[in-house]
Amino acid sequence: IFDMTLEGFGTEQIATQFEKEGVLTPQAYWIQKGIGRPGKTKTRPATKWNGSTITHLLYQQEYCGDILNFKTYSKSYKLKKRIPNNPEDMFIVPDTQEAIVSQAQWDRVQELRKNKRRPAKAERQGLFSGLLYCADCGGKLHFATCKSFEGKQDHYVCSKYKSGRG
């Protein structure tokens, strides 16, 4: 999965490739080994992959050979809801087990996953694109160009206003 991501494949493309090759999903693998997993068992084919499963696997730091403790916490012993912990508050024990993925490869995949922006259809991209937010609703501002005037007029449009939701 990590190699295919570095080659430029998306999560849905990787899932489609795994379905063609007949690779078992993690849930089907555990069932085949006879190990019960918590939660509802879905009646899906054993090789039906989903892009969200690939995404979840790409963010697992345990594949680098590290152990992560205190990933979640609870505000009180009375509340059963688990809240994700900040990475700086987690306790990470590096190189505890044999690494499946090298640390450099894992870091590169995280860097690629962080900057998932589709290339613009326009000939140029706005200087502040991806950084501006609407003052009224908090939605993202998209860069737009207008060619109806004599010269080009560049402006930013609220994403919610553009889609008719705001």
pLDDT in tens, 107-161: 999 998 886 666 666 667 778 877 899 898 888 888 887 766 666 678 888 888 8
* pLDDT average, residue stretch 57-78: 93
Residue 153 near residue 122 (C-beta atoms within 8 A): no
pLDDT greater at residue 50 or residue 162: 50
Per mean pLDDT, which range of 13-17, 39-43, 68-72 is the poorest? 39-43
Q: What is the pLDDT of residue 155?
A: 84
Instruction: Report H helices in 73-121.
Output: 103-114
Per mean pLDDT, which range of 39-53, 55-69, 148-162 is the poorest? 148-162
Q: Give the dihedral of Cα atoms 39, 41, 42, 48; nearest 10 deg.
A: 100
User: Would you say the pTM of this structure is higher than 0.75?
Assistant: no
Residue 48 near residue 24 (C-beta atoms within 8 A): no
Q: How far apart are CA 114 and CA 29, in angstroms?
A: 29
Q: What is the pLDDT of residue 60?
A: 93
* pLDDT average, residue stretch 72-81: 93
Confidence of residue 2 (pLDDT cuts 50, 70, 90): very high
Q: What is the pLDDT of residue 15?
A: 94
Q: What is the pLDDT of residue 86?
A: 94
**φ, ψ at 76 (rounded to 5°):** -150, 160
Residue type, 63: Y
